[in-house]
Structure 1
Amino acid sequence: MNPLFPLTAATLVLLLGACADTSPGGKAVSARHERFEEMGAAMKAIGGELEKDNATSATVRQSADRLAALAPQVKGWFPAGSGPQDGKRTDAKAEIWTRQAEFGAAATRFEAAAVALKAAADAGDAAKIRAAVQTVGAACKACHQTFKED
């Protein structure tokens, strides 16, 4: 092993940390990215269970709970100063800030879909869970098409 490798790796970590945007807008970009990753992981977990025909599993219930808990927060993840128009590196389109009413409506549709998924999961109704997952996915897709860069 090269004795310089640990030093090089440590230096890289320090350099990457120094490049992080620690402004309030930069922190908002990082936080929302992490939360969207968390929601994506929850949807992936649910999808995996549905593929195994385990629609009523504990994983589905826990993942649906997490989506329902995060969904009402989405509107607040895009504060002023955290968009591409502010020089932030983000997949969010400027339309989130310029078409706030439309974005808010899309976020509200996602929230309602996530709550319905949680209710179906809590009830243990496999057919309703499957239908609710489709509705959540459609809400995600509709929002991404308008408000997220490819």
Structure 2
Amino acid sequence: MGVVAERMSSMKQMADSMKTVGEMLAGRQDFDATTARAGVAALHENCHQAREQFSSATKDHPSRASPMVWEKADEFKDEMERFDAAVKALVAASEAGNLDGMKVPFKDVGQSCSSCHQKFRLPE
């Protein structure tokens, strides 16, 4: 599997983790602290992988990554650092196993995802 396919897989896994945890936090699924921690841990692992998967060698490969990723590399790096910080806060909150304590950090992660996608992802 090439790095672009790996990156797309990492992004899909992050979306799946967000959905699983989000369903619990919204009350659409029963909250299970162990499952929530596992979802957040997977999100954290994929977050770190994704940061390394946007090399300039991949900029001409077909994907939804906008050319802005490479044209405004410093801004993209800042977005990824904000995302990493938000995910780390969610990891810390998930370790406490408290549903209410995870809600704000989870929202921050979602906002970070949206912010990056608006600036650095092409529409379908």
TM-score between both structures, scaled by the size of structure 2: 0.90
Unaligned 5+ runs, structure 2: none
Higher relative contact order (Cα pairs below 8 Å, separated by 6+ residues): 2
Question: How many matched pairs?
Answer: 122
Structure 2 distance, partners of 1:71, 1:34, is: 11
1:139 to 83, 101, 112: 112
Question: Cα deviations across residues 47-103 of structure 1 (Å, max 9, x unaligned)?
Answer: 1212236445221110011112222332211112212xx2x2100000101111100
Unaligned 5+ runs, structure 1: 1-21
Q: Which residue matches 1:29?
A: 4
Q: Which residue matches 1:99?
A: 72
Structure 2 distance, partners of 1:105, 1:40, is: 21
Contact 1:49–1:57 (Cα < 8 Å) also in 2: no
- CA distance 1:133–1:110, change in 2 (3 Å): same
Q: Which residue matches 2:28?
A: 52
1:69-148 pair list within 5 angstroms:
69-83=45-59, 86=60, 88-148=61-121
TM-score between both structures, scaled by the size of structure 1: 0.75
Which consecutive aligned stretches of 4+ in structure 1 deviate over 3 angstroms post-superposition? Answer: 52-56
